[in-house]
């Protein structure tokens, strides 16, 4: 391993002193500019944690230890023995196994349970907590959450640094560079070609493009397969805020750069994955690509021998990931999206390198390094998304490339990946089949301050768990007694215990340091004076493994004296609900959470002294689901010095502070959670409405209903979040619809600012078009139902006013009218909808939804779903006003059925319910309605962006393909 690789490995192992020394040495070899950033980071780490003892951060894995001299716990000895790193006779091993079984055989007791209401009776009915993500990678939820919190990306150097990794293959590299020359974008980009020790001289190829691209070329010595090291060279040279990765044989389409940068500017917490197609370019001159930018996309797809990255479909090979992309809604519903991270075509913000580190250079055979890197991005909180339009074309001669090395390499790197990616790739094994993984599945963290008398019982209880794929991370928070000395003496050479020490900063500071120090994916919390039951981790972990959407699993506890004698079982609220947690701390020890969920919060609040845990678990409850186990897994030692007992007054004050902060983070500003009395020990509360609260939306009282006999059309629009661009949308509507009578907007009243009200009023006075604002449907309704319910509510609002309309248009807030004189078009038909076939995935989701399945069975045969054309996005949908009432009556019945059995569909209802209701109505009335397509084109981000010329052409009504999509960057 070269010096730079050793330095990176030391840094990733938190041995910053050694890493600094090696990076300084690397500077002499490669030049200081290459490693200047890493040197700075090492110094920052050493400055932040000056007392970290690097000797305790790692273990010599090759050293053999004699059991007689070993102070190690029993499980660690057995784990080392399993891989021959500890010398044990059969007799010694059996003795240790029997002792370990005795240590871990005790089972946690059941906690007492009783029937409780999930939602407290005094919880306001109009106080609806912010929605949780549908899955761990729900990027749509996260984007809305960031908007609610006012988090906006800040970029100093907007542009894309493209790292092209290569080894030989000059002709293929030249074609890829030619395709980069052909990029259509106004965003700046650079190309850094990183050479993994090619035998062929690639510099002539680079020189051909020096006047066409901002290009640099760096090469490392040929030390075998070192793709990670090659990529890292390029990453350290990158000058822009965004990184794009390409393999030399991946030729990007002309909008590749523009699409990536536009997406990352929108949300720089995304890791974006582009798909691939397989083509043959072996007989095409690179100049042909330079002279014809459309050549690449016109080439036929081919079949390849690449069985690792593709699957055969007839005469062509397909990207194996495409099926998963579709099933998971572009990875939004994937529990492990990093598995699809292939470094040949991805992009992310450079800021993530500071959080998750660079590519792991230990991967020195083909495969695995990109998935491991992707896992770390996922672990630290990045969201993964795939986009159809960011296509790259894999140049591979059909049937000619030998993939044996890839298969063999994958077999080697898969073992490394299992060592370093505990989530998904690791399963629970019996101790006989286990060993100490370099990255454990579980980390138990212990903030330690002046606890020399209790720490051994605490740590031993963590080590003596039935789950052995586990480490213990101890943070000594500036103890003034001999705590650190005791810890070092007892656990200083234990490979499953990692120790750090820092100046005293309080429990929140120590907790943040310890959790950041942890390597596991599942994190357990243990106070230094308490101790666990042997099956505590196993019980929680099994829940996590069953349900990947869980952010936290917690049990309950008992209170004991320092000698272990029982005082009483702890308070146990038997069922979790977010509403109850908002009124009382019910998530007691033992608690485990995922490191990803923790990174989606801002961590423990170091500005408060008490209620630190309550604050933290409120934050976690805002980003993922909780599960409670009625098991007593934790022993809480009461010795009189517990801060929650000694500082009741501060504890109470901060209790109310952190709840109100939680409400504010969720966009709930119309209620305060206030103290009911002044008693320090009391947690009685009352919810009071704030002065800003309004029972109803101000419907802009200056607006009067204008009767216009020539106006025939009503428009219903649902706004999902902010009202930015609302007036632009209104102007677009009337530009193409001269017969608009009324526009009813379903909005979130929290976004209805005075400025937006003024804009609406000005629009009303200028155009004399009626505007109605509606807010009947809660904005925390299921994402699958809310748009349908909002349109239903809008038409009810119109009915209450007895407005006489001929047609109604149901539209999206961000779609674009491009059909001139819509009314003349509409008069020819009864209804305008999009109709396409249901995919297998859609059929499965419909069949899994009892209320809708029951409705379908009433009118159709089971096999009808396969042949029915009933799917289509709802934007620009129109129908006669009378027909709308009949359809919505059917839809309302389905919604009522859903609510009666609390059954939320796993599909977007607005995409099929209107179509199904129409077909049902036709069956009921034996009448076939005149149908056509919709009026607007949705700015769907998965499709390629239109050029300005295409937009203008569309506005003129020219050359508009049916169901052509555009993205939401269009300015109306």
- The confidence score (pLDDT) of residue 963 equals 33
d(CA 609, CA 648): 11
* Ranges of residues in the chain whose predicted pLDDT is under 50: 51-70, 399, 401-404, 694-702, 939-946, 960-972
d(CA 620, CA 608): 17
d(CA 875, CA 965): 11
- The confidence score (pLDDT) of residue 682 equals 67
β 836-837/869-871 pair status: antiparallel
Q: Which residues contact 160 (CB under 8 A, 6 or more apart)?
A: 187, 188, 189, 190, 240, 242, 243, 244, 257, 260, 261, 347
User: Cα dihedral angle (537, 540, 545, 549), rounded to 10 degrees?
Assistant: -130
Q: Check residue 539 and give left, alpha or beta (phi > 0: left; psi -120 to 50: alpha).
A: alpha
Q: Find the helix or strand (DSSP H, E) in which 744 lies.
A: strand 740-746
β 242-247/345-349 pair status: antiparallel
pTM greater than 0.75: no
Q: Which residues contact 344 (CB under 8 A, 6 or more apart)?
A: 245, 246, 247, 249, 250, 276, 392, 394
Q: Which two tokens stand for residue 13?
A: 């192992």
> Residue 60, Cα to own-chain centre: how many angstroms?
36
The full DSSP string for 299-340 is SPP---S-TTTEEEETTEEEETTHHHHHHTTTTTT-S-GGGG
Strand order in the sheet with 250-252: 250-252, 392-395, 276-279, 316-319, 310-313
Encode burial over 210-230: b for 16+ CB neighbours within 10 A, e otherwise.
eeebebbbbbbeeeebbbbbb
Residue pair 415/369 in contact (Cβ under 8 Å)? The answer is: no
- Token look-up 């099933």 returns 327
- The confidence score (pLDDT) of residue 693 equals 52
Q: What angle do CA 292, 294, 299 make, to 5 degrees?
A: 105
HSE, side-chain direction, 13 A CA sphere, residue 693: 13
Considering only the C-alpha atoms of the chain, give the largest distance between any 2 of them, rounded to a whole number of Å.
99
* Neighbour count for residue 474 (Cβ, 10 Å): 31
- The confidence score (pLDDT) of residue 694 equals 46
Smallest CA-to-CA distance from 353 within 204, 243, 264 is with: 243
d(CA 832, CA 835): 10
What's phi and psi for 903, nearest 5 deg? -110, 105
Domains of the chain listed by start with CATH number: 3-48 (no CATH), 157-298+318-397+405-420 (3.90.550.10), 431-689 (3.90.550.10), 713-933 (3.90.550.10)
């Amino acid at each position: 391993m070269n010096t730079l690789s050793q330095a990176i490995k030391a840094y990733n192992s938190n041995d910053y002193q050694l890493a600094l020394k090696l990076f300084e040495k690397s500077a002499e070899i490669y030049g200081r500019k290459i490693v200047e950033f890493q040197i700075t980071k090492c110094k920052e780490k050493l400055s932040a944690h000056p007392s970290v003892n690097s000797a305790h951060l790692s273990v010599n894995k090759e050293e053999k230890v004699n059991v007689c001299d070993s102070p190690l716990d029993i499980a660690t000895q057995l784990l080392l023995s399993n891989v021959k790193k500890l010398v044990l006779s059969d007799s010694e091993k059996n003795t240790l196994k029997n002792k370990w079984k005795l240590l871990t055989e005790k089972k946690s007791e059941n906690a007492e349970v009783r029937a409780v209401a999930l939602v407290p009776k005094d919880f306001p009915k109009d106080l609806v907590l912010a929605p949780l993500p549908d899955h761990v990678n729900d990027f749509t939820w996260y984007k809305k959450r960031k908007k609610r919190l006012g988090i906006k990306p800040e970029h100093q150097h907007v542009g894309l640094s493209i790292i092209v990794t290569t080894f030989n293959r000059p002709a293929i590299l030249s074609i890829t560079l030619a395709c980069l020359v052909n990029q259509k974008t106004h965003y700046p980009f650079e190309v850094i070609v990183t050479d993994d020790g090619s035998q062929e001289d690639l510099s002539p190829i680079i020189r051909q493009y020096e006047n066409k691209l901002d290009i640099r070329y760096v090469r490392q010595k040929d030390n075998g397969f070192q793709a990670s090291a090659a990529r890292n060279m390029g990453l350290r040279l990158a000058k822009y805020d965004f990184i794009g990765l390409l393999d030399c044989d991946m030729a990007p389409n002309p909008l590749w750069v523009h699409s990536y940068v536009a997406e990352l500017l929108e949300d720089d917490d995304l890791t974006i994955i582009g798909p691939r197609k397989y083509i043959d370019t072996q007989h095409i001159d690179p100049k042909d690509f330079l002279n014809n930018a459309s050549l690449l996309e016109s080439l036929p797809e081919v079949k390849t021998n690449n069985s690792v990255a593709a699957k055969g479909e007839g005469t062509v090979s397909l990207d194996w990931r495409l099926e998963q992309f579709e099933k998971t809604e572009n990875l939004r519903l994937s529990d492990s999206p990093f598995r699809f991270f292939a470094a040949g075509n991805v992009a992310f913000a450079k800021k993530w390198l500071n959080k998750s580190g660079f590519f792991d250079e230990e991967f020195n055979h083909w495969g695995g390094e990109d998935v491991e890197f992707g896992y770390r991005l996922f672990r630290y909180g990045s969201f993964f998304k795939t986009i159809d339009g960011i296509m790259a074309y894999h140049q591979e001669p059909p049937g000619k490339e030998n993939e044996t090395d890839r298969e063999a390499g994958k077999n080697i790197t898969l073992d490394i990946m299992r060592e370093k990616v505990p989530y998904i790739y690791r399963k629970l094994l019996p101790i006989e089949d286990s060993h100490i993984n370099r990255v454990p599945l579980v980390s138990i963290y212990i903030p330690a301050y002046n606890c020399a008398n209790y720490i051994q019982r605490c740590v031993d209880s963590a080590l003596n768990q039935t789950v052995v794929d586990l480490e213990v991370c101890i943070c000594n928070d500036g103890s003034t007694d001999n705590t650190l000395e005791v810890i070092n003496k007892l656990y200083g050479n234990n490979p499953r215990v990692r120790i750090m020490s820092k100046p005293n900063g309080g429990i929140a500071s120590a907790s943040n340091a310890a959790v950041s120090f942890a390597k596991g994916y599942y994190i357990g919390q243990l106070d230094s004076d308490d101790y666990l039951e042997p099956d505590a981790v196993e019980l929680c972990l099994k829940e996590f493994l069953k349900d990947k959407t869980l952010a936290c699993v917690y049990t309950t506890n008992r209170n004991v004296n320092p000698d272990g004698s029982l005082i009483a079982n702890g308070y146990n609220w038997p069922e979790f609900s977010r509403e109850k947690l908002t009124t009382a701390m019910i998530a007691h020890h033992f608690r485990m959470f995922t490191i990803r969920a923790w990174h989606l919060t801002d961590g423990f609040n170091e500005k408060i002294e008490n209620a630190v845990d309550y604050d933290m678990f409120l934050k976690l409850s805002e980003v993922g689901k909780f599960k409670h186990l009625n098991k007593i897994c934790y022993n809480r030692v009461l010795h009189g010095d517990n801060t929650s007992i000694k500082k009741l007054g501060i504890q109470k004050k901060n209790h109310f502070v952190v709840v109100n902060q939680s409400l504010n983070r969720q966009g709930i500003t119309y209620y305060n959670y206030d103290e009911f009395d002044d008693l320090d020990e009391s947690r009685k509360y009352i919810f009071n409405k704030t002065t800003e609260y309004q029972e109803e939306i101000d419907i802009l009282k200056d607006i009067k209903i204008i009767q216009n006999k020539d106006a025939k059309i009503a428009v219903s629009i649902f706004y999902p979040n902010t009202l930015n661009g609302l007036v632009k949308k209104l102007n677009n509507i009337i530009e193409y619809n001269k017969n608009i009578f009324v526009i009813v907007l379903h909005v979130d009243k929290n976004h209805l600012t005075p400025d937006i009200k003024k804009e609406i009023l000005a629009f009303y006075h200028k155009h004399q078009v009626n505007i109605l604002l509606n807010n009947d449907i809660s904005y925390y309704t299921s994402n699958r139902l809310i748009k349908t319910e909002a349109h239903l509510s809008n038409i009810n609002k119109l009915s209450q006013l007895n407005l006489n309309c001929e047609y109604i248009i149901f539209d999206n807030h961000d779609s674009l009218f491009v059909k001139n004189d819509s009314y003349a078009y509409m008069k020819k038909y009864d209804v305008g909808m999009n109709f396409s076939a249901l995919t297998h995935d859609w059929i499965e989701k419909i069949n899994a939804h009892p209320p809708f399945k029951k409705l379908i069975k009433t009118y159709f045969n089971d096999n009808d779903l396969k042949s029915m054309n009933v799917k289509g996005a709802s934007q620009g949908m129109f129908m006669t006003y009378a027909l709308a009432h009949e359809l919505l009556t059917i839809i309302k019945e389905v919604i009522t059925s859903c609510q009666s059995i609390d059954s939320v569909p796993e599909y977007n209802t607005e995409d099929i319910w209107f179509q199904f209701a129409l077909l049902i109505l036709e069956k009921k009335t034996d009448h076939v309605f005149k149908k056509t397509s919709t009026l607007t084109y949705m700015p769907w981000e998965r499709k390629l962006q239109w050029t300005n010329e295409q937009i203008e052409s569309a506005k003129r009504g020219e050359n508009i393909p049916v169901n052509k999509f555009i993205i939401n960057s269009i300015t109306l």
